[in-house]
Structure 1
Amino acid sequence: MIAKRSGRKSILANFGAFSQPKAEASDSFVPKDHSSPSGQPLARVGAGVIGATQRSLAELREERDSLRALVDAGGGSELDPNLIDPSPFPDRLPDDSDTEFEALKKLILDEGQKVPIQVRRHPISEGRYQVVYGHRRWRAALELGIKVRATVLSLSDSELVVAQGIENAARQDLSWIERALFAWRMDAAGIKARDIRAALSIDDPELARLRSVCRALPVDVIETIGRAPRVGRPRWVALASAVSEDPSALARVQRTLSSDKGLLLSSDERFKHALAAVRKPQPQSRDEKEIKGPAGRVVGKATFSSGDIKISIVTEYASAFSNFVEEELPMLMERFFVREGEG
């Protein structure tokens, strides 16, 4: 029987035995006291999750003990990665570069897989599994053609997303839009709001913001932009609001993202171009001046705006004035560059 600890501890501490501490890039062990080798404590999920889930401390402790028992009973196995499918609730968008993943593959090839992934038995397909977390290590084993070390659990969808979310909170490297998509996919699968809040360690207002962005922006547009790790909530909300308010804005974003140039940019840069595409151009200030003859009669007008000059002359002088400007233009430009100090 596992002793129950005080409810004052964070959710991550309560699920400590369930969440295998790890670092994807280094694939190395972390001491059991949940400290890094340097002695610094690992990132923890805040105690505010308790309020967000709207469940009693007794229920949370009971669920913790249940999941911990499943982990203890699961042990470790070596599985064929071809028998494993990704989580039904994707929480990752592709990286702009495969450099880190290739480094992880090389590390596993040279030193072996030190930290097991966690999988659950597939709820539909007999003999298959689904990743709870450890997708990159699973993918590395798949590409290397080797077996993957795994802890096998029996989890419901709700238990899976809570476990997956706790692991992500420990790493703290999901971008804001990845969190939004994770919440959106859980919503679509019928996961209860309290479990979504627990998985992401968020409150109701933040969940509402995540949902609002995914309602306004089609998933394919978000996936085309990508992780955008440097783009936070305010700019994603601004993009979603602009698309909601202007029916033509989404088409402009899609055209921008489908351009050859757009595909070569980083995800952060693709977001910047998408945001620029939805912003309505500001009307250029224009200054109009009358052109008068010697007797004060208005014979034309000149219109000046940013990078644009237009001169119109009444018909009787138009041809002669055009020839005059053509002849005088070289001298006019010479005077201009002298004044600018470039003559």
Structure 2
Amino acid sequence: MNDDPSRRRLGRGLAALIGEMDTVAPAAEKPRTAADGKVPIEFISPNPRNPRRQFGDADLTDLAQSIREHGVVQPVVVRPAPRQDGRYEIIAGERRWRASQRAGLAEIPVIVREVDDRTALELAIIENVQRADLNPIEEAQGYQQLIDEHGYSQADLGQVIGKSRSHVANTLRLLRLPDVIRDMLVDGALSAGHARTLVTAQDPAGLAKRIVEDGLSVRQAEALAQMPPAQQREPRPAAAAQKDADMLALEKLLSDATGMKVTIAHKDRGGELRIAYRTLEQLDELCRRLKLER
């Protein structure tokens, strides 16, 4: 294994390099991480190599409203933009920057760090992985970037991000899936656990469709993946027949209300309601709404 000291340092986590910028504190106290200052929002640009590509519109709207009321609690971490005097490039906090624009802020608090391209990419990946902000495909693409551009081994990556080598290897395997299945992962229709069962399947797209339609668990998907493709496509029992219009309408109503994908598996006696979230912020928002309804 490469024993680069900078990689050992990164293994201590994001906070060791850029401070406790993402510590979650009680809402009533609203403590703020000390910023190096404020920068006009138009002088800040996103990192084009940021592994995170998906920013939910509903999430940004909710965060923008919070920023209007309470300001930016955690500063955005930036570095001086290469070859652009007076401008800055985001290392961590692009979601906060985007929401601040929606909120109409003229300036935003920043923490400035002098880091090179490799460290900036490492920090962006670490921050997003620690906050569970990346969908599985974005996470895999971020790992692949570090391997391709900076010669990391899978063991190096595991040490840096605080994950096992097997987690890194299994995540990278998702990049071998067809685009149609990658889209399901990005949309939250499939979990990473489901997707891993499809990597070696003979008909991954067909199997993925059945997993989604039948609401199969990961264990059920694994068992189905061991069957020949012909058996995988056998008609489902009557109990798993196509959903009627009322059930589909209810799923859409709940999905629109939560901003997340909702599926209902109704049986003769009860059933199962599944809500797929992509980020911890979405889960926090769902919990907040449920508490308000009590």
Check whether TM > 0.5. Answer: yes
Give, in whole Å, the separation in 2 of the partners of 1:140 and 1:228.
22
Equivalent residue runs for 1:180-199 within 5 Å = 180-190=140-150, 192-193=152-153, 196-199=157-160
Partner of 2:114: 154
C-alpha displacement of 1:106: 0.7
1:215 aligns with 2:176: yes
Task: Give the aligned residue type for 2:82.
Answer: P
Aligned partner of residue 97 in structure 2, secondary structure: helix
Q: Distance in 1 between matches of 2:37 and 2:145?
A: 29
- Distance (Å, rounded) in 1 between the aligned partners of 2:32 and 2:70: 19
Mapped pair 1:167 → 2:116: no
> Residue in 1 aligned with 2:21?
20
Residue 120 (structure 1) aligns with: 79
Name the residue aligned to 2:70: 111
How far off its partner does 1:29 sit?
A: 4.6
CA 1:157/1:13 → structure 2, altered by over 3 Å: closer, same or farther? closer
Superposition pairs for residues 1-343 of structure 1, below 5 Å?
11-12=12-13, 15=16, 18-23=19-24, 29=30, 75-81=36-42, 83-86=44-47, 88-95=49-56, 98-146=57-105, 147-190=107-150, 192-193=152-153, 196-218=157-179, 222-223=182-183, 225-226=185-186, 228=188, 231-232=191-192, 234-242=193-201, 245-246=202-203, 249=204, 280-282=229-231
Contact 2:174-2:196 at 8 Å conserved across structures: yes
Shift of residue 87 of structure 1? 5.0
Q: Per-residue deviation at 1:118?
A: 0.4
Q: Kindly indicate whether the alpha-carbon contact (under 8 Å) linking 2:184 and 2:190 is maintained by their aligned counterparts in 1.
A: no
Aligned residues: 219
Instruction: State the TM-score, normalized to the length of structure 2.
Output: 0.56
What is the CA distance between 1:198 and its match in structure 2?
Answer: 4.1
Q: For the residues of structure 2 that align with 1:153 and 1:15, how far apart are their CA atoms?
A: 13
2:51–2:124 contact (8 Å) kept in structure 1? no
Kept in 1, the 8 Å contact 2:31–2:73? The answer is no
Q: What is the alpha-carbon distance in structure 2 between the residues aligned to residue 153 and residue 21 of structure 1? A: 16
- In structure 1, stretches of 5+ residues that fail to align are 1-6, 33-71, 257-267, 286-305, 308-343
State whether residues 19 and 167 of structure 1, in contact with CA within 8 Å, keep that contact through their aligned partners in structure 2: no
Tell me the SS of whatever aligns to 1:150.
strand
Q: 1:166 to 1:125 in 2, by over 3 A?
A: same
How far apart, CA to CA, are the structure 1 residues paired with 2:232 and 2:184?
Answer: 30
CA distance in 2, matches of 1:126, 1:163: 22
Letter in 2 for 1:228: G
Q: Determine if contact 1:80/1:148 at 8 Å carries over to the other structure.
A: yes
Give the conservation status (yes or no) of the 8 Å contact 1:116–1:151: yes
Contact 1:89 1:161 in 2 (8 A): yes
Instruction: Tell me the residue number matched to 1:314.
Output: none
Gaps of 5+ in 2: 1-7, 239-294
The DSSP-based 3-state class of the residue aligned with 1:161 is helix
User: Counterparts of 1:21 and 1:204 in 2: how far apart (Å)?
Assistant: 25
Instruction: Tell me, in whole angstroms, the C-alpha distance in 1 between the residues paired with 2:158 and 2:142.
Output: 11
1:317 aligned residue: none
Residues 153 and 20 of structure 1: CA distance in aligned 2, closer, same or farther (over 3 Å): same
Which residue in the other structure is 2:274 paired with?
none
- Secondary structure (helix, strand or coil) at the match of 2:231 reads coil
RMSD, aligned α-carbons: 4.6
| Cα pair distance change 1:180/1:159, threshold 3 Å | same
Quick one: which amino acid aligns to residue 11 of structure 1?
R
8 Å contact kept, 1:133–1:164: yes
Decide whether aligned partners of structure 1 residues 271 and 168 sit closer, same or farther in structure 2, where only a CA change above 3 A counts. farther
- On the 8 A contact 2:190/2:212 being kept in 1, the answer is no
| Change in CA separation of 1:130 and 1:283 when aligned onto 2, cut-off 3 Å | closer
1:206 partner letter: H
